[in-house]
A = this chain, B = another copy of it.
């Protein structure tokens, strides 16, 4: 069928693609031009440069089929699409998703964006840690829960410490008590939409979470177990490597005495080494030392000086520096500029690898939003969140030029109220234009997410096209090593360990589905 005269545009390849306005176009020319556009967008997509082998291609087809089924059911029949609603409400739905089951089983490489206080499940913390001797709890004068280990607890009037064991016994129902405790520590609520109206509301609650957990896990013996348990949970979620944003806040002992920063680094290192010795498939754990973006400039300068002091001596465990804490009302990077430039003023100058949080905000053009500019100018190795990046065309250009990876944390951004429906997430532009991305989980324990799987599900389902397949997930896994703080040789070693797992995964999924008969037809 040929149409005599239909206006459309043909691509004409000169130096650039120009569009030539013509008046006559056949339906076949229309179809060709349509295909050209779609192919062009396909090749712009994150993961599109990966070539999947035949077996991977089969799994990709299974994935896309399952993805399509979930999406189309919601699109046409109006069933709830999990990434569109708060994770507190969608978690159960996700857990029954076929796409999610595959993602869970998939070796996801490393987790590059996590915080030390929120990497071990609350379930373990409550059912293991709070059952130990010398664990105390109280409610402060604002009614907020606090927990701590003591030989003899202090007795200030504003916080009457009681042994958790006693309170649990008194409750008469340990199971219910523990469930309630998990709920009280986490930021999970039944109605997140009305409980947390503004981003500040949820961060206030989030601050309480940190206070409670810090009280528990900074007790030295607990800290070791906590970290080991974290590594175990990440490995069980098929994550083989982790980078932790960690403050050097001291660990404590039962008598209230506090250790120094070096002790913490040593404890981190030794605990990781112990774990590695027993788990040869695990790749490792590195720290990104972190200051708090509400603290005074002097404090941050001290943090940086500590980093400079330790970075050579503990180069096996610390690999960079960052500032953490709620960005919205916090201090922008520019506020600390002189301090952040301090290492470069030394003689000889010291190069500090920065891994800045930036753009974790909806406030376009505000001073905190502009930290994205400073992060890039300060030569950051990656950007934590970068949620607002798409509002900054020039910064985006520079990111691509400098090959700076963006750590996307879907669930965090949702529950901490930057975005509700994750199909509106700022990183979608980055996925559509093949930016260097990794997916992180930020603080999975605070909202009951798995170490990486739930976030991978969100990114895959909400931020990529209906027909994007395994190449997206594989690229995310590869990037998580490529853009890590590991050295080149460590990366090579890491890739080998991951590839072994990856190949096992491919074989296992194919076997499962050939049994199901799903690969036939």
Q: CA–CA, A201 to B81, complex, Å? A: 13
- Are A377's CB and B432's CB within 8 A? no
Cβ contacts under 8 Å, A392 to chain B: 41, 432
Min distance, Cβ A40 to any Cβ of chain B, angstroms: 4
User: How many copies of this chain sit in the oligomeric assembly?
Assistant: 2
CB of A361, distance to nearest CB on chain B (Å): 8
A61 within 8 A of B: no
- A425 CB contacts on chain B under 8 angstroms: 424
* Alpha-carbon gap, A428 to B428, bound state (A): 13
Find the residue from A329, A391, A429, A464 having the highest chain B CB count within 10 A. Answer: A391
Q: When chains A and B are docked, how far (Å) is the Cα of A455 from the Cα of B310?
A: 54
Question: In the complex, what residue of chain B is closest to A334 when comparing beta carbons?
Answer: B34
Q: Give Cα A369–Cα B68 distance, bound, in whole angstroms.
A: 14
From A30, A423, A464, A466, name the one whose CB has the most chain B CB atoms within 10 angstroms.
A423
Interface flag for A5 (CB, 8 Å): yes
A34-B374, A75-B363, A364-B423 known; A429-B429 Cβ under 8 A: yes
Q: Is A80 an interface residue (CB 8 A)?
A: yes
CB–CB A377/B341 < 8 A: no
Q: Which residue of B lies closest to A391 (CB)?
A: B432
CA of A432 to CA of B397, assembled, Å: 13
Q: Evaluate whether A362 and B402 lie within 8 angstroms (CB atoms) in the complex, with A6-B341, A78-B200, A392-B41 already known.
A: no
- Cβ contact within 8 Å between A198 and B81: yes
Separation in Å of the A45 CB from the closest CB of chain B?
9
Q: Does A393 contact B (CB under 8 A)?
A: yes
Residues of chain B within 8 A of A466, CB atoms compared: 363-366, 369
CB-contact partner of A341 in B3, B34, B364, B397, under 8 A: B3
Q: Among the listed B79, B194, B198, which residue makes an inter-chain contact with A74, where contact means beta carbons less than 8 Å apart?
A: B198
Contact B370 A38 (CB under 8 A): yes
Partner of A373, one of B37, B75, B351: B37
Question: Which residue from chain B places its CB closest to the CB of A413 in the assembled complex?
Answer: B424
Task: List B contacts of A328 (CB < 8 A).
Answer: 75
B-side contacts of A37, CB under 8 Å: 373, 376-377, 394-395, 398
Q: Does A416 contact B (CB under 8 A)?
A: no
Q: A349-B6, A395-B37, A421-B420 are in contact. Are A428 and B364 (CB under 8 A)?
A: yes
State the CA gap A509–B65 with chains docked (Å). Answer: 59
A18–B397 alpha-carbon span in the complex (Å): 10
Task: State how many angstroms separate the Cβ of A194 from the closest Cβ of chain B.
Answer: 8
Chain A residues near B (Cβ < 8 Å) = 1, 3-9, 17-19, 27, 30, 33-34, 37-38, 40-41, 44, 71-72, 74-81, 84-85, 193-194, 197-201, 328-329, 337-338, 341, 344-349, 351, 362-366, 368-370, 373-374, 376-379, 390-395, 397-398, 401-402, 417-421, 423-426, 428-429, 432-433, 463-468
What are 16 A-B interface contacts by the 8 Å CB criterion? A5-B349, A6-B379, A7-B351, A8-B378, A9-B401, A18-B401, A27-B341, A37-B376, A37-B398, A41-B393, A44-B393, A71-B366, A75-B328, A419-B420, A420-B421, A420-B424
